[in-house]
Structure formats: structure tokens, C-alpha cells
Amino acid sequence: MNSIFITSGITKTFSELIEVVLDPLFLKFLALNNYDQMYFQYGNELVKDRNQSKVIFMEYLERLYKLIEMDSEISVISADIYGQFELQMNCYSISTINYLNDIKVSNFIITHSGTGTILDIFNIKYNSDNEDEDENNCSSNNSANNGYSNYKLLSIINSNLMDNHQLDISKEFKAANY
């Protein structure tokens, strides 16, 4: 089976991204492509002492799906998606868990276009591939993928942010052939 890691940013809630990844059509895509695990990291934006990203995520999820099981920390959710398939969702704020391992084990990553997160993903995936090559006594110079594993990364720009800096960052990554 496959796993997907999604991050909606740390400081500002990217509600449009949250709504898209919880949309029935997107979740059906996951099911059709054998995804059974979703890691979802939401941000730390506080509004009246409540985590705004968590509130938006849970309200949208509860509105659409039957939650089979949910613990008080909102760390693991089993969702029955219209009786068609079940998806395990590990949902958390960046401050509550180390998200680096979830990135490492995921083969599809969707991220807001935050520079730090994109660089974390590149570093984690590059380093995990080189560890695998070392274990197999292979030289990283002979790697067909230049040290990066076969994973998909989709970086989505949040155009609501100040001066649209994520667009500029994305253009720089594209210019550098990432």
C-alpha cells in the first residue's frame, strides 16, 4: 500500500488546501491508487486560543465523513469514505510530533510552498536514498535517480500570503530543475 504526507503550513492556515485534500474526489483518487495511510500536518495559527488549522480540518472532515474512531489528541482517525474505503489519517500540529519520519515513509507528498518544508523534503528523501544505497553497497554516484527516491512532490502556492513569496520560491526551485 501507499502513504501520502500533506502539510498545510505552520503559521497561516491554508484552508483551501485542507478542503481539496478532504474532498471526496481526491480521496477516491487515493483509494484507486492504493493509498491507505494519510499523514496530515496542520499549522499552529491561533484564533481566540484555538488552533485554527485543526478546527478547519476537523469541521470539514466531520461534515463529510463518518468517523469510525478518533482519539482525543486527533492523532489517528479512521474515516469511512461513503462506505467505499477506509483511510487511516494521522493528523497533528507540527509542535506535537516529529513529522520527518512521516515524510521519509511517504511516496506522495503535497505541501504548501514553504521553503523550509520543501528543503526538509529534499534533504530527507536524498538522505534516506543514500542510506539505502550504503546498505546495498552501492555508490550514490551510480544512482539512476541522483540520490532521490521515486516519490511524487506536489507543491501548492498559497497566493493569500503576504507578497506572494511562495510563487517566487517555486519559480526558483523550477529554475534549478527541482
State the pLDDT confidence band at 141, using cuts at 50, 70 and 90: very low
- Exposure string for 119-151, b = 16+ CB within 10 A, e = fewer: ebbeebbbebbbeebeeeeeeeeeeeeeebeeb
Q: Read off the pLDDT of residues 63-115 as tens digits, 9 standing for 90 and up.
A: 766 655 555 444 556 666 656 667 778 888 775 456 888 888 899 999 888 88
Q: What is the DSSP letter of 53?
A: H
State the pLDDT confidence band at 5, using cuts at 50, 70 and 90: very high
Domains and CATH numbers, the chain: 3-132+148-176 (3.40.50.2000)
Q: Global pTM? A: 0.77
Q: Read off the pLDDT of residues 58-76 as tens digits, 9 standing for 90 and up.
A: 888 777 666 555 554 445 5
- pLDDT computed for residue 97 by the predictor: 56
For residue 17, which of 154, 167, 168 has the smallest C-alpha distance?
154
